Amino acid sequence: DGPIAAHNLLRAHLTDNLGIARTSVSYRQDGRGEQPTARQVDYEAANTSSVGEAEITNWYGYCDTLYYQMFARAADPSTSDEEAKRFQKECKEDGVPPQALQKMEHVRANRQNGYGSPEMAIMRFNQGMTIFPMLPEAGKQNFVEDYVSGFFGPEKTERFAPRSHVPDDQDWQASVENQMIAGGRMPIIDGTQDDVQHLTSHLQDARQTLTPTAQDMQGGQPDPNSLGQSAQYAQIMVQHCEAHIARLKNDPGRKQQAKLFEDELAQLADFNQQIWRALRSAQRDIRIQQEQQAQATALSALDQAKVDSVRTGTATAAAKAQSQIENQRAKTIQTLNLKSLKQGHDMGLDRIQTGHEIQMDRMKTQAATQTPEETLP
């Protein structure tokens, strides 16, 4: 509470001693008489604020000392204060090595535009609005932040003008490398690349790309083709990220940052091994299924051959029986025809014999009835 109270006391002292507190002006403030022009107001604001610049400079010097003591206590690794521990944890999460907190040379309070005088800040910002369109995107963002800080105070800057990430050449190059890795090609690392920015982009792309594969693996029925593509992607991504981390380890100033990425890369490498195991298991299941289908096909073909053989035998037996029936019928018909012919022949012979016998009987009868005289010559 002591540093905060001292900070509030210094801020109140600054407010009381700013040039805007001495409002001696050359015109009436009740609206009567001739009113000043905008240039006149700016001129008088500059004069009144210039009187207090020495005091403001001293106040910033006091703030430098105060802020350094506050930072030293917050960065103390042996502190028991919960806020200090949270500060160190957030710095580590943002990629700040713990050694950097211990080797801080100085802490300097931010000198606002106008040296603390809101009127001077407004006047200078209004004068600088003419060059605002010509500033680069980063300069425009800084201009807006200073503008909000001058009007509403530094604590409102993050709320009114939050800083957004503007993609640069490093982001574009990392995006191209992500596409190359997805296509199965290994990107080449050059000396101009920002390894931290590239690792952040690569690991984020890996999370987005491999999340559907992880969900399919949890479902128990992953697609072998998808597993093969994911395994190839993860393998190339791990090798490429390892090269970036190796470059970070060789940089003494960013050696600690490599440890922040090693844990996530280890998780990616472990998941890559899981993908390969799932791929081999899926391929083994496919081979077993194909063998079972081949066996089923062979058994089906054998069964079909047996059925065809039975059908052929049945058809042959039926044809043989039909042939036997036809032969028997033909034989019967032939026998009947022979019998009919024999009967006709016998009947013909009987008729001839009977006719001959009748004729003989007639001749005998005729001969018997003739007289002897008739028989003499």
Q: What is the rounded average pLDDT of the residues 28-37?
A: 64
Cβ–Cβ < 8 Å for 74, 86: no
Residues 116 and 181 in one domain: no
Percent of the chain with pLDDT over 70: 79
With a cut of 50, say whether residue 291 has pLDDT above it.
Answer: yes
Q: Which of 254, 280, 297 is the last residue of a domain?
A: 297
367 lies in some domain: no
Most confident of 12-21, 195-204, 307-316: 195-204
Percent of the chain with pLDDT over 90: 9
227 lies in some domain: yes
Residues 177 and 293 in one domain: yes
Residues 125 and 202 in one domain: no
Under the banding of pLDDT at 50, 70 and 90, the label for residue 17 is low
329 lies in some domain: no
Q: Which of 108, 134, 160 is the last residue of a domain?
A: 134
Under the banding of pLDDT at 50, 70 and 90, the label for residue 353 is confident
Q: Determine the pLDDT at residue 202.
A: 92
71 lies in some domain: yes
With a cut of 70, say whether residue 168 has pLDDT above it.
Answer: yes
Residues 85 and 185 in one domain: no
164 lies in some domain: no
Q: Determine the pLDDT at residue 8.
A: 66
Q: Determine the pLDDT at residue 180.
A: 92
Under the banding of pLDDT at 50, 70 and 90, the label for residue 348 is confident
Q: Determine the pLDDT at residue 113.
A: 47
Under the banding of pLDDT at 50, 70 and 90, the label for residue 16 is low
374 lies in some domain: no
Q: Which of 297, 329, 360 is the last residue of a domain?
A: 297
**What is the span of the domain harbouring residue 209?**
170-297
187 lies in some domain: yes
Residues 23 and 88 in one domain: yes
Residues 292 and 228 in one domain: yes
- Token output for 283: 């391929």
Give the total number of structural domains in the chain: 2
Q: 59-112: per-residue pLDDT in tens?
A: 778 888 899 999 999 999 898 999 999 999 898 888 788 888 888 888 888 765
Residues 9 and 98 in one domain: yes
pLDDT higher at 21 or 56:
56
pLDDT higher at 243 or 354:
243
129 lies in some domain: yes
